[in-house]
Amino acid sequence: MEVTFMQAKKLLSARNIAYTAVLLALVIVLQAFGGTIAIGAVQLNFTLIPIVLGAILFGPLMGAVLGFACGAVVLVQVIMGLSPFYTVIWTYSPVVTVFTCIVKTTAAGFFAGLAYRLIAKKSQYAAVFVAAGLVPVINTGLFILGCLCMGNAISVFQGDIGQGGMNIFVFIVVVLVTWNFFIEFAVNLLVAPAIHRIVAVAERAFGKKHKNNNSAEQA
């Protein structure tokens, strides 16, 4: 019981709440106003970066919370019909669309945090890269699965863009996913570990400054 209380106290510290608020704001602002670039039919999602950071810094639960926030914003964008693809999937497969939008990033954040905790016991450096790479892999994998479950909507969209004769799985992987995934994967591997390193350095500096201040006060 004492361990649980200490863990909760640590999670709810002012510093952690502040970091969480910043990451949550980044997820929402990036996804809603400037974290996406249109490549093909789907939006390239840069909000995966704060999801990775949240999972690394605070664990799987926070990764899931940030992923859920990202998915909720995407769902709102889908309902608003901000792209032709969004309009089609919401019109023809609303239930599967809701499930796909919410689950893919939520699961990505959760399992990235879990993987980081397990691997960091042996190598923190390797754990950062695995977590950073895992988020786009899970996000894309569940997106593909979701699209396969809304086959009618995908077929309609294929017809709308003149790709009606292509196999649906090939269409999803080649047209909807390919470059998006590789760019997201590269961005996460390059940027997320670098930002995590900056945070780690800042935390060490803060801890040293706090220790020096305490020593000065005692003197």
Whether 36 contacts 82, CB under 8 Å: no
What's the rounded mean pLDDT across residues 82-90?
A: 91
Q: How far, in Å, are 45, 49, 73, 85 from residue 30 at the CA level?
A: 9, 10, 10, 20
Place of tokens 């294929």: 158
Q: What are the backbone dihedrals phi and psi of residue 163, each rounded to the nearest 5 degrees, phi first?
A: -120, 30
pLDDT, tens only, 154-165: 999 998 888 878
Q: Which of 120, 132, 117, 122 is nearest to 58 (CA)?
A: 117
The CA distance from 100 to 85, in Å, is 14
pLDDT, tens only, 24-46: 888 888 887 765 565 555 555 67
Q: What are the backbone dihedrals phi and psi of residue 40, each rounded to the nearest 5 degrees, phi first?
A: 75, -140
Q: What is the pLDDT of residue 99?
A: 96
pLDDT, tens only, 142-157: 999 999 999 899 999 9
The CA distance from 140 to 177, in Å, is 7
Of 169 and 34, the structure prediction assigns the larger pLDDT to 169
Q: Which H or E run contains 37?
A: strand 36-39
Confidence tier at 140 by pLDDT (50, 70, 90): very high
> What is the rounded average pLDDT for all residues in the chain?
82
Instruction: Of 93-97, 112-116, 195-199, give the lowest mean pLDDT range.
Output: 195-199
* Domains of the chain from N-terminus onward: 2-218 (1.10.1760.20)
